[in-house]
Each structure stands twice: as C-alpha cells, then as structure tokens.
C-alpha cells in the first residue's frame, strides 16, 4: 500500500504544494495530520499549515498562495487496518461526513476549489483510537514517520 501511496505523491514532485494537517493532537490518532506538519517544519519546501481542528481559518491564506496542489493530511476512518495510509480525491469523501472538525474537510476544500484551480488530495491515515488524553498508537506513529520521510524526499528544501 505504501508503494502505491509513494507513487501517487511522487507525481507532485517539483510542484507548488500546500500541506495542511487537520486533527486534534489531544485525541490520540486524530492528531496524525498536525503531527506530520509539526515534524516537517524546516525539512521541506512545501508550505505547511497545522490547521488543527479549524481548517476553515486557512481558506483565504491558501487561496492567496494559489498552489498547484493541496495535500490534506487527516485521520480518516475508511475501514482499513490501524495506521494504513490511503489517498482520496475529494469526490471520494462524503461532504457531510461527521468529524471532529467544525467544518467538514470536504467542504473546506470545496470552498478553496471554487476560488482557485487546484488539485486536492486527502492523505488519510486510518485511526485506531481517538480517546482524549491518549497519544497516537504505535501503528499511526510509524505511518506519520514514514509520511514525514516521504514528503521530505518529494518536497526537499531548496538550496
């Protein structure tokens, strides 16, 4: 599965990309998106936004940057094994999905896509537990580390 994910992400190499991490780091695996963004600081040329649980606060800044691609990293329950990673196009996600976020992640990207031409990819990490006060489980932590290394390779710092 990771080979497929790497190949999909590698197609974005060299393009202007914004990476948005969505989730709550106080709720175990739900914090996967922000954890990726926090660990990428200073390691990538992509623009990083740790949106936590309020991605709607970053709609206008993303529109102003007008990147070619938007990667939204979030814990998404798609029924896979804990820690599995999968890339979704926005149309694959239900716009009324119930989530921990004030605004549905799908609605968030739809608002951006209405304003600018942009390719959007959801990078979903299957959560195992989202209990308040718990850290991310080992499988999700390992996937976060893999994704940080992968994105550092695909979007290296420019010299």
Each residue's pLDDT tens digit, 42-55: 999 999 999 999 99
At 40, which CATH number?
3.40.50.1450
Q: Kindly state whether residue 120 falls inside one of the protein's structural domains.
A: yes
pTM, two decimals, is 0.93
Q: Kindly state whether residue 86 falls inside one of the protein's structural domains.
A: yes
What is the rounded average pLDDT of the residues 71-98?
Answer: 84
The domain of 119 spans: 2-154
Q: Kindly state whether residue 140 falls inside one of the protein's structural domains.
A: yes
Q: Kindly state whether residue 159 falls inside one of the protein's structural domains.
A: no
The pLDDT of residue 19 is above 80: yes
Each residue's pLDDT tens digit, 85-112: 999 988 887 644 445 455 677 888 999 9
- The total of structural domains in the chain comes to 1
What six digits make up the tokens of 126? 């299957």
Q: Kindly state whether residue 96 falls inside one of the protein's structural domains.
A: yes
Q: By mean pLDDT, which of 19-28, 70-79, 88-97 is the weakest?
A: 88-97
Q: Kindly state whether residue 6 falls inside one of the protein's structural domains.
A: yes
Each residue's pLDDT tens digit, 110-123: 999 999 999 999 99
In the chain, the percentage of residues whose pLDDT exceeds 90 is: 82
The pLDDT of residue 134 is above 50: yes
């Amino acid at each position: 599965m990771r080979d497929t994910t790497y190949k999909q992400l590698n197609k974005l190499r060299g393009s202007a990309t914004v990476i948005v991490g969505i989730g709550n780091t106080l709720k175990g695996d739900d914090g996967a998106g922000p954890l990726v963004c926090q660990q990428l600081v200073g390691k990538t040329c992509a623009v990083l936004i740790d949106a936590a649980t309020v991605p709607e606060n970053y709609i206008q800044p993303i529109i102003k940057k007008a990147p070619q691609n938007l990667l939204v990293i979030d814990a998404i329950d798609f029924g896979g094994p804990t820690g599995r990673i999968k890339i979704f196009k926005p149309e694959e996600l239900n716009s009324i999905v119930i989530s921990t976020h004030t605004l549905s992640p799908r609605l968030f990207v739809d608002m951006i896509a209405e304003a600018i031409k942009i390719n959007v990819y959801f990078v979903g990490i299957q959560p195992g537990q989202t209990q308040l006060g718990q850290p991310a489980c080992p499988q999700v932590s390992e996937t976060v580390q893999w994704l940080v290394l992968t994105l550092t390779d695909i979007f290296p710092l420019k010299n």
